[in-house]
Chain A
Amino acid sequence: MRRVLTALALIATAAPALAQQSSVPEIPGSDSTADHSKFEVLQKAFTSGPEVTEACLSCHTEADDQVMHSIHFNWEFENPRTGELLGKRNVINAFCGNVVGNEPRCTSCHAGYGWDDMHQPPPQQSTAVDCLVCHDRSGQYTKLATGAGHPPMEAKGKTITGADAWAVDLSKAAMSVGMPGRENCGQCHFYGGGGDNVKHGDLSSALVMPDVHTDVHMSPDGANMVCTDCHVTEKHQWAGSRYDVHATDPEGTGRPGERRRVATCESCHGTEPHPVDIKGMKLNDHTDVVACQTCHIPTMAKGGVATKTWWDWSTAGKRDADGNAYSEEEFVQSDGKHLHTYLSIKGDFRWEEEAQPIYEWFDGQVSYASAAQGGKIDPTQPVGINEIEGDAHDGKSRIWPFKKMEGRQAYDSGNDTLVYSHVWGPDTDTALWTNLDWGKAIAAGMKAAGKEYSGEYGFIDTYMYWPTTHMVAPASEALDCQSCHAEDGRLANIAGVFMPGTGGSAMAGLLGKILFALALLGVLGHALLRLFSRKGEH
């Protein structure tokens, strides 16, 4: 009865929640031996996220410890090769810049509660872990966009997906937990960088219920897979880090037992995925050079959701005639939605839908120049926020597709470093989004990051690579041979590999054509001579 009442109350008060609910796919793991709605510890009115976590931990005693060791919780990654300390917590990116100084806004996507100071590690009490964000299957749990990871307890503000917030029913969420669905992961990963598909290009809300064209694996009409089918876990640690990518997995399948630390195509499909016929064998010959993604993700930003490809922060701060911040929405997405092309608080944007990736050799290593951590830059050159490593001859690189995010970002023109900026903070007088004042925003950001600031700033061109690996198209939509095997084909910029059909045998071709022309001319001349001489003869 109580559940019915709860449901009724929900219908009455939270229409957005219903909208969310209807889009929830069938619960993965619904064949579980535990029905959480029968657990007494969950049958109470919770008033905060941590309270729910406490209840979860009463049975799942090790979960908090496991989660707290994950990159999802620490937002920190120490590159085992270089020792660089990376992760959202430390680096500057090509989107909103940096977390430090903007915590409650940025950490709203943190898989934990109440992280409001980057100078401290994330809160270490066990109840700071957010179980529901991944495991809620009621479809109505969410986080407040500006709440440092806490869910909205009243219909006020926005959620992390940008929707109007509703009062989350924690009890309902707690009683309907299960294995994560696409929309669980998507709440954060689809909306990074300030909106739907802004950041990755291959991760958007279109993947909650994609058609097969958008994603053959995740479409209910395809394999209907969820994120964790590939991003398998071991003690709440996920396979598939963007900081340490497996560009290839030559081990492939075929080992007894499921491999838990890789999320590559080859981990399921093997290294010779095409059928063994004449075409398939030739295609299989490609797998040592070309990543699966290159042919099988011909375009990203599919399913009607565009991705941001250009972000010029230098134009932020303009005001309209009345001295107010304003916006322009000149890009119309294929679903009819208008997207910002200018925002006083963020500058100019460019968008692309069904975007063609760019291609580079890639060994899985993404190096974050010291620039991304506040080190020296060369302001005369476009600054790479990250760089792709690998080449044709190292034996492990593959040609990979990338989204190349370009734009202009602020830098310290006195010290030649990228700057940390304070963009969000409604109660401060230094936040850019409140005051439209770059000088104050940068000074406050640099102070928050503990970096030296000369007091002078400018703007430089930046770019950042984002490996494309989702939105795999059905085989029938894979790239044709001639997409690359043609002059000016897609891989025209790729060096160190011989690609038939791209003009690599032009020299011999020219020589051959001359020889052929001479043969024709000789034959023609001979024939003519015969014709005329015969006339004289007979």
Chain B
Amino acid sequence: MSSRMVKVYPRFERLWHWTQMTLIFVLLFTGMGLNGVHGLLPFGPAVMLHTIAALVLLCVWIFATFWLFTTGTWRQFIPKMRGMTKVARFYAWGIFRGEKHPYHKLLWRKHNPLQAITYFGLKILVFPAIWITGILYLTYNLWEEVPNATLWLTVIANLHVLAAWVIASFVVVHVYLLTVGHGFRQHVAPMVTGYDCIDLTPEQEAYLETNEPWRLQS
């Protein structure tokens, strides 16, 4: 087992991540404006920006989903219980004692168990919630004939707003956790360069050296 700098985030994944980040910020900002949290944007332009950002993000999302399933990367997001308590204990206790992060990235396991389950929850619950409610919200005129449509729209709008706040809370924790462990810059760098320090089995190392040498740094 040796630690090597391996390209774990291909270009598309990085592009996806940063596009998504930008769009989520635009969506949160405009969405908050629409809900009276701030008055920095007039309602009309805020709606337009929100709608456009959402549609672009939806396209990115469709591509990303397609990519996840064709490349098999979707497995990275399947939560596993193994090591979960260790990681949880680290954040709750060990981190204050100066312990080392108990999780070591593996080639097919970029996320620690806590990360994985968080992303899984986001992808299976929160993102679908925001998308489904958002699309229903936007296309209200297509289903307004449904009985009590106004009431349903109110429910949908509320769920949309709630999901948005869950995402905003995720962003806070997500950004904060970048400061944990190796430090902020080391955490952000892989998402920029694509390379991260990974524990490779000799077999993996040999495979990569022979077949995908460009994925190994130095």
Contact with A along B152-172 (1 / 0, CB 8 A): 011001111110111011101
**A333 CB to nearest chain B CB (Å):** 32
Q: Determine if A81 is an interface residue (Cβ-Cβ < 8 Å).
A: no
Contacts of A285 in B (CB 8 A): 140-141
In the bound complex, CA of A486 to CA of B166 (Å): 24
Contact A482 B44 (CB under 8 A): yes
Q: Determine if A485 is an interface residue (Cβ-Cβ < 8 Å).
A: yes
Contact A504 B154 (CB under 8 A): yes
Partner of A516, one of B44, B144, B168: B168
Nearest to B151 among chain A residues (CB) is A498
The A interface is mostly helix, strand or loop, or mixed, namely: helix
Contact A515 B165 (CB under 8 A): yes
Contact A508 B96 (CB under 8 A): no
**A255 CB to nearest chain B CB (Å):** 24
In the bound complex, CA of A503 to CA of B161 (Å): 11
Partner of B153, one of A279, A498, A523: A498
Q: Would A505 and B150 be within 8 Å (CB), given that A481-B43, A481-B47 are in contact?
A: no
Contact with A along B83-127 (1 / 0, CB 8 A): 000000001000111100000000000000000000000000000
Contacts of B161 in A (CB 8 A): 505, 508-509, 512
The B interface is mostly helix, strand or loop, or mixed, namely: helix
**B173 CB to nearest chain A CB (Å):** 6
Interface-side segment among B34-42, B185-193, B205-213: B34-42
Contact with B along A456-498 (1 / 0, CB 8 A): 0000000000000000000000001110011100000000111
Contact B176 A505 (CB under 8 A): no
Q: Determine if A519 is an interface residue (Cβ-Cβ < 8 Å).
A: yes
In the bound complex, CA of A515 to CA of B168 (Å): 9
Q: How many residues of B contact A (CB 8 A)?
A: 39
Q: Which of chain A's residues 154-200 have a Cβ closer than 8 Å to chain B? A: none
Contact A515 B166 (CB under 8 A): yes
Q: Determine if A282 is an interface residue (Cβ-Cβ < 8 Å).
A: yes
Contacts of A38 in B (CB 8 A): none
Contact with A along B167-204 (1 / 0, CB 8 A): 01110110010010000000000000000000000000
In the bound complex, CA of A518 to CA of B170 (Å): 11
Contact A519 B98 (CB under 8 A): no
Contact B169 A519 (CB under 8 A): yes
Nearest to B95 among chain A residues (CB) is A530
Q: Would A480 and B43 be within 8 Å (CB), given that A512-B166, A530-B95, A533-B97 are in contact?
A: yes
Contact A480 B96 (CB under 8 A): no
Q: Which of A482, A527, A534, A538 has the most CB of B within 10 A?
A: A482
Contact A501 B34 (CB under 8 A): yes
Contact with A along B65-83 (1 / 0, CB 8 A): 0000000000000000000
Q: Determine if B62 is an interface residue (Cβ-Cβ < 8 Å).
A: no
Partner of B52, one of A278, A522, A529: A278
Q: Determine if B51 is an interface residue (Cβ-Cβ < 8 Å).
A: yes
Q: Determine if A513 is an interface residue (Cβ-Cβ < 8 Å).
A: yes
Q: Determine if B59 is an interface residue (Cβ-Cβ < 8 Å).
A: no
Q: Would A537 and B98 be within 8 Å (CB), given that A498-B153, A509-B35, A516-B165 are in contact?
A: yes
In the bound complex, CA of A482 to CA of B97 (Å): 53
Nearest to A498 among chain B residues (CB) is B153
Q: Would A480 and B42 be within 8 Å (CB), given that A515-B169, A530-B96 are in contact?
A: yes
Contacts of A282 in B (CB 8 A): 47-48, 51
Contacts of B159 in A (CB 8 A): 508
Contacts of B35 in A (CB 8 A): 501, 505, 509
Nearest to B158 among chain A residues (CB) is A508
Nearest to B148 among chain A residues (CB) is A393
Contact with A along B25-56 (1 / 0, CB 8 A): 00000000011110000111001100110000
Contacts of B166 in A (CB 8 A): 512, 515
Contacts of A487 in B (CB 8 A): 36
Contact with B along A331-355 (1 / 0, CB 8 A): 0000000000000000000000000
Q: Determine if A71 is an interface residue (Cβ-Cβ < 8 Å).
A: no
Q: Would A537 and B51 be within 8 Å (CB), given that A285-B140, A501-B35, A523-B173 are in contact?
A: no
Contacts of A121 in B (CB 8 A): none
Contact A505 B165 (CB under 8 A): no
Q: Which of B36, B154, B164, B166 has the most CB of A within 10 A?
A: B36
Contacts of B158 in A (CB 8 A): 504-505, 507-508
Q: Which of A480, A496, A498, A534 has the most CB of B within 10 A?
A: A498
In the bound complex, CA of A190 to CA of B65 (Å): 64
Nearest to B150 among chain A residues (CB) is A498
Nearest to A518 among chain B residues (CB) is B169
Contact A279 B48 (CB under 8 A): yes
**B210 CB to nearest chain A CB (Å):** 43
**A497 CB to nearest chain B CB (Å):** 6
Contacts of A485 in B (CB 8 A): 34, 43
Q: Determine if A392 is an interface residue (Cβ-Cβ < 8 Å).
A: yes
Q: Would A512 and B144 be within 8 Å (CB), given that A278-B52, A519-B172 are in contact?
A: no
Q: Determine if A288 is an interface residue (Cβ-Cβ < 8 Å).
A: yes
Partner of A508, one of B43, B153, B162, B173: B162
Contacts of B150 in A (CB 8 A): 392, 496-498
**B180 CB to nearest chain A CB (Å):** 8
Contact with A along B127-147 (1 / 0, CB 8 A): 000000000010011001000
With A480-B43, A509-B165 given, can you name 6 additional A-B contacts, CB distance below 8 Å? A282-B48, A498-B150, A505-B161, A509-B36, A527-B179, A537-B97
Interface of A with B (CB < 8 Å)?
278-279, 282, 285, 288, 392, 480-482, 485-487, 496-498, 500-501, 503-505, 507-509, 511-513, 515-516, 518-520, 522-523, 526-527, 529-530, 533-534, 537-538
Give 4 nearest A-B pairs by CB, closest first: A512-B165, A533-B96, A508-B158, A519-B169
The contact sample of 30 A-B pairs, CB cut-off 8 A, is A278-B48, A279-B48, A282-B51, A480-B42, A480-B43, A481-B42, A481-B44, A485-B34, A496-B150, A501-B35, A501-B36, A504-B154, A504-B157, A505-B161, A508-B162, A509-B35, A511-B165, A512-B162, A512-B168, A515-B166, A516-B168, A519-B169, A520-B172, A526-B91, A527-B179, A529-B96, A534-B96, A534-B98, A537-B98, A538-B98
